[in-house]
A and B are shown apart, each in its own frame.
Chain A
Amino acid sequence: MTRKQRRLSVIAGLGLVLALAVGLILFALRDQIVFFYSPTEIHEKAVAAGTAVRLGGLVKQGTWKKSGDQNDFVVTDGTTDMVAHYTGILPDLFREGQGVVVEGAVATDGSFAATNVLAKHDEKYMPKEVVDELKAKGEWQRGEAGG
């Protein structure tokens, strides 16, 4: 094999793998990414039931009900409320009136079936998405998350 042929074969191989990888990445980006919505956006955009999304907002005061390992609570952005159901242990810093990000999907009855609940890691931390969302809605109070 001459030097030129060798180089060509290497470049062809490189190109093939790269094309494959780019195709995969594009395919995955279209189907495997998860959008972040507030309850209002879920309502307005009429997100289809079963689509994986992240829901962010505040846990509404006085709505957290716990029976056994079943948890029901309302996520609110001040405009729209959305009931969420979660089976399992909630994070340490899950509190009423605090920010929360819930992963899951909208159920057929219009409530939110959560597969994972993320709360603040510490007193100072609040998911950035929630802060932005609340600031946009004018619900943001500095004392609430401290930073």
Chain B
Amino acid sequence: MGIELGHFALILATAIATVSSLAGFWGWRQSDRVALLLRQGAVLQFILVAAAFAALIQAFVTSDFSLALAYEHSHSQQPLLFKITSVWGNHEGSMVLWVMILVLMGAAVALFGRNLPRQLLTLVLTIQSLLAAAFGGFTLFTSNPFLRLTPAPLEGQELNPILQDIGLAIHPPLLYTGYVGFSICFSFAVAALISGRIDAAWARWVRPWALLSWCFLTLGIAMGSYWAYYELGWGGWWFWDPVENASFMPWLAGTALLHSALVMEKRNALKIWTIFLAIITFSLSLLGTFMVRSGVLTSVHSFATDPTRGLVILALLALFIGGAFALFALRASALRVGGLFAPISREGALILNNLFLSTATVAVLVGTLYPLLLEATTGKTISVGAPFFALTFGAVMAPLLIVLPFGPFMAWKRGDLVAVTQRLAWVAGLTVFVTILIFALSGGSISLAPLGLLLGVWVALGAIAELIDRAGIGRMPLRTSWNRLVGLPRSAFSTALAHFGLGVSVIGIVTASAWQLELITTMQPGTTKTIGEYTVRFDGIKDVQVENYVAEVGDFTVASGGHERQLTPERRVYTASGTPTTEAAIETYGFSQLYLQLGEQSADGSRTVRLWFKPYVTLIWLGAIIMALAGGLSLSDRRLRVGVARRVATAKPAPAE
């Protein structure tokens, strides 16, 4: 019964979305009633899709295997959390989650966007409804999650054991919120192109949505990276896998969008480019959805192998991206260019940022799509791996990191490069000093690593230096500079914090890659091995039986500096499907981690053990969290908060209502 209601709710939501978009296209110029219809439609869509999603969760939690999807992807013995996450641990369910977040964003605009000009609001909701109609229809017609089985099986097949992890509860919802959140920026861009009206206020309205999506995408990517790191047991945290690139490209483009929207908001310049980026960012999200969902790639993420789905997504992709760019080509020239500035200025620095970020996006795009295109056209199979991306992406990012600290120091309109360089000179000196210090202490060999470290430290210190400079610390009495620091707008702190986070991530990436220690060895119970400053003792193996799997649990004791800690790597076999998995043991020391993977037993009773020491590896994800926090801080800035414009506007005349 619940399933049928859910099915009906999804059909109704798709129908409402279709009607809303048609009504919007027909009447966006005309009446307030159309605006009201679309706003109510947007909220209704969300309520209905949420109900459909709840119906799926209910069926999975109660192990109702008459639902085909629950039968295929769940099992009555799975813990409750994994019963719930099984809902989106498959193609059909994850599409419902995708659509739910899409309509959630639409409903949020409808509820919080009352201060928007009526025509703009109507058009944004029109485009958003069109997206909801298209992807709701896609879900219903090619990947319906509500199909029943008769007779109902007594027991389900289980969720892929590799997905039975807390990561599945966190990673997809975060990532999807980021991905799909950019749909609002897309809708705003298309709305601006249709109405032909765009100004600094437009950027002010779009920026919170871009910022919100960007924060979620940042966290989603970082979480996915950490999950792959601890679950797949290869000790790597980024594989330049096409699916990872699919989420990374919208992030790069979205980062560029955040910066260009800033220029547009403050200086009314870069309008056309900002619109272009808004379209591109969501197009890359859609491309990511296509690559992951169409089955053209082989990876843990590709659940779908039905070719019709791929074709339909490709058609939707062509419709939305092609449509948006056609509109762009027709209307972009009508937008008036404003805001003059010299090349050496804050605007110039932000353009440079955009240039490097978009070039990096192109490099990743080429590396991701080239193998697919080559195979489709010539039948040759190749893989483009880490060396390609290290060379191209690295070569583009290095100059970006070098010029990054200069940006926030530049004045708008016309900057003074010499003066900025003088103000940054001490940071440069300190950077070199710190890097040499770290390098001397670590005693590593000469390689590219110190250069990478130099860049990370430079960016992190440069961010702090900006705050110090703006507060006038060192130039003024301490009390004055403290008051200045406290009085700085939140946007100044969020800029510095975001750049600091990036620097932290870069430092983590460099140290964890360049100074990592690896040891592959065999160990008999009772023997010890040493890696770096850590002595690892193998105490033995015990067999453990848990709810839905049996496991061999290795007992290891790690001694370092007089302290002992227990490590328990596992080799599991999931009873329902007979699938084996390994669970690496990871122990965190400060910011560094010791990573231990347990192998199979040899005939003589020994075990193959793979050990890594990864110095400062956690900084990679910590930096991403800092960046996301910085985004949150910026969102909380009063000047950006949605609704402020209305309060200011209604302050003068009496409210008309």
Contact = CB atoms under 8 A, between A and B. Distances in A.
B392 A28 contact: yes
B351 A34 contact: no
Contacts of A68: 522, 602, 606, 608
A25 B366 contact: yes
Interface in A44-66: 54, 66
Given A10-B351, A34-B382, A89 B597 contact: yes
B383 A92 contact: no
Chain B interface bracket (under 10, 10 to 19, 20 to 34, 35 or more) = 35 or more
A29 B388 contact: yes
24 contacts: A1-B343, A6-B340, A21-B392, A21-B395, A24-B391, A28-B391, A29-B366, A29-B388, A32-B385, A32-B388, A33-B371, A33-B384, A34-B382, A34-B384, A35-B380, A36-B382, A68-B602, A68-B608, A69-B521, A87-B520, A92-B571, A92-B579, A123-B579, A132-B381
Given A32-B388, A87-B520, A122 B162 contact: yes
B362 interface: yes
B356 interface: yes
B362 A21 contact: yes
Given A21-B396, A33-B384, A90-B600, 14 more contacts: A13-B352, A20-B395, A25-B363, A32-B384, A32-B391, A34-B385, A36-B381, A67-B602, A69-B521, A89-B599, A92-B581, A121-B160, A129-B381, A147-B305
A35 B381 contact: yes
B111 interface: no
Nearest to B371: A33
B580 interface: yes
A6 B340 CA distance: 9
B359 interface: yes
A52 B599 CA distance: 26
B388 A36 contact: no
A129 to B, nearest CB: 5
B359 A18 contact: yes
Nearest to A69: B608
B300 A121 contact: yes
B582 interface: yes
B148 interface: no
A14 B366 CA distance: 19
Contacts of A69: 520-522, 599, 608
A88 B380 contact: no
Given A24-B391, A33-B382, A69-B599, A17 B581 contact: no
Contacts of A36: 381-383
Interface in A92-144: 92-93, 121-123, 125, 127-129, 132
Contacts of A28: 367, 387-388, 391-392
Contacts of B387: 28, 32
B308 to A, nearest CB: 16
A75 B282 CA distance: 43
Contacts of B602: 66-68
A54 B385 CA distance: 11
Given A67-B602, A69-B522, A14 B355 contact: yes
B355 A92 contact: no
Nearest to A127: B298
A34 B577 contact: no
Contacts of A20: 395
Contact of A24 (B385, B395, B578, B606): B395
Contacts of A1: 342-343
B29 interface: no
Contacts of B578: 123
A19 to B, nearest CB: 11
Residue with the highest number of chain A CB atoms closer than 10 Å, among B340, B579, B606: B579
A32 B352 CA distance: 28
B298 A128 contact: yes
A115 to B, nearest CB: 11
A2 to B, nearest CB: 10
Contacts of B371: 33
